[in-house]
Amino acid sequence: MSSQVRLRLLPSTRCLFDEPVQLKVAGLRSRQVVTIRATSTDEREVVFGSSATYRADDGGEVDLNRDPSLNGSYVGVQPMGLLQSLKADTLHKYFFKNKALNPHVVKFSVHEQEGDGRMLAEETNERFLMGDGVSRDPIKEGNIRGVLFTPPGEGPFPAVLDLGTFMSEKRACLLANKGFLVLSTAVFNDRQNMKEIHLDPFKEAVDFLRHHPKVGPAGSKGVGVISRSKGTDIALSLAAFVPGVQAVVWINGTSASVGTPLYYKKQQILSPLMFDFSKVITTKSGANLIKYAIEDPLEEKNKGSLVPIERAKSQFLFVAAEDDLNWDSKAYMDEMVERLTRHGKENFETVFYPGAGHLLEPPYGPFCSSALHGMLSFSVVWGGEPRKIQEFLRTHLSCDDAQTKANL
C-alpha cells in the first residue's frame, strides 16, 4: 500500500445499516485513474464484490458524492453505488444479512489502474443493524416464535408485528432504531409447513404486542403490521378477521391467499390461489419469470381466496413496485383500492415506485435481481433497478411519549 494515499469513510467507519457513508480518497496524483473495490461476505459465506473506476481531480482527490464512476459495476455519480451493486460471482444469489447481532462488514480498497493493480489504501465499514440501547429478545410463548426488538427507554412505544415469508430480523431492528417496539416473525417457520397456514398464531402475536408493558395504553388502540410478498395476505387477513390491528403496511403483495389455504379457529376461511406452472417463462439466465403464472383472483372460481379487507377497520398503506416480476403487485393494489372505494372506504394510502422490483428493502443493501424462491424451490427473477413507511405507522400508532423524527 502507498503511505501517501488515504481512504476515508465519513462521518465514521461505523454506522447503521440504513445510513449512508461518504467515501473520499486523497493523496493520489493529479488526474490519476484508480479502481475502488468493495467486498463483503454474507451469512451463508458467499462472497460479494463490486468495483468502479474514478479519475482524481487536479488535487489528487476522489469524492464519491461528487465524482462519476467511469466504468465498472455502475457508471455515473452514485455515492453508495459500491454497496448497492455488490454481487456474487454465481448467478441468482441474494445477499443474506438477516441476523441483527452481527454487523454488515464491507471492505473498501483503492487500486492502481496500471500494472498489477497494486492496492494503495483500504478501510473497513461496519454497518450495524441494531442501534445503541436497542434490546433483542427471542420469543417462544404459546404458538409465537419470533424475536422482539425494544427501543431504549420506558416507552410507551408504538408496536409493530413484522411478518416475513421466512424469518429475518433486518427490517424489525431497523424500525426499533426509530422508536418502534417490533416483533419479527415468519409465515413459514420451517420449510415443511407450507400446505396450510393458520391465522391463530399471528393473532397471538398481535395480542402479545397489545399487552406488552412498554406498549401501555396505546395497545388498546391497536398495533401495526408490516409485510412483504407472502406475508401480505396474512397481514390483510389479520386486519379483516382479528381485532386490534390498527395499521397495515402492504409491500409488493397480493389481495388473496396465494398457494395455501388459510385457517382460523380450526375452520378454513380462505381457499388457495394457485399457480399455473405451464405459464412459467424460463429466461436466458436460467431464472424463471412467474409473474403470469398466478391465477386471477377475480375469476369466479378463485373469489374464495380474496381477503375481505372491506370489512377491516384498519388503515392501509399499499406499496407497489412497477417492475415487480414475482407477481403483478400494482394490479393487486389497484384491485384493492377499487374494492375499498366501492364499499365507501377511504382508509388507505398508496405508494408506487417506478423501476423498482419485488425485493423492496431498506436502503444501501446489495440489489438482487434474481434468486432462489423459498416457496417454489427454483430461481426466479425479481425485477427492478437498484434503488413513507415510518411516517404512516407513526401517524396511526401514535404514542405521545415516544415521538421521534422519521427519516424515511
Given 324, 329, 370, 379, the catalytic residue: 324
Whole-angstrom Cα distance, residue 109 to residue 127? 17
Respond yes or no: is residue 229 known to be catalytic: yes
Catalytic residue among 358, 369, 379, 396: 358
Which residue matches cell numbers 433483542? Answer: 136
Q: Assess whether 358 carries a catalytic annotation.
A: yes
Measured distance CA(353)–CA(323) in Å, rounded = 9
Residue 373: active-site member: no
> Which residues, at least 6 apart from 393, have a Cβ–Cβ distance to it below 8 Å?
158, 160, 175, 180, 224, 226, 247, 249
Instruction: Please name the amino acid found at residue 233.
Output: D
- Give yes or no for a contact between 35 and 105, defined as CB atoms under 8 angstroms apart: no
The set of cell numbers assigned to 138 is 427471542
Hey, what's the cell of 281?
417463462
Please report which helix (H) or strand (E) contains residue 82, including its range: helix 81-84
Cα(153)–Cα(155) distance, integer angstroms: 6
What 3-state DSSP class applies to 331?
helix
- Catalytic residue chosen out of the listed positions 168, 227, 229, 237: 229
> How many angstroms separate the CA atoms of 309 and 238, rounded?
9
Alpha helices in 195-241 (DSSP H): 200-210, 231-241
Active site residues: 229, 324, 358
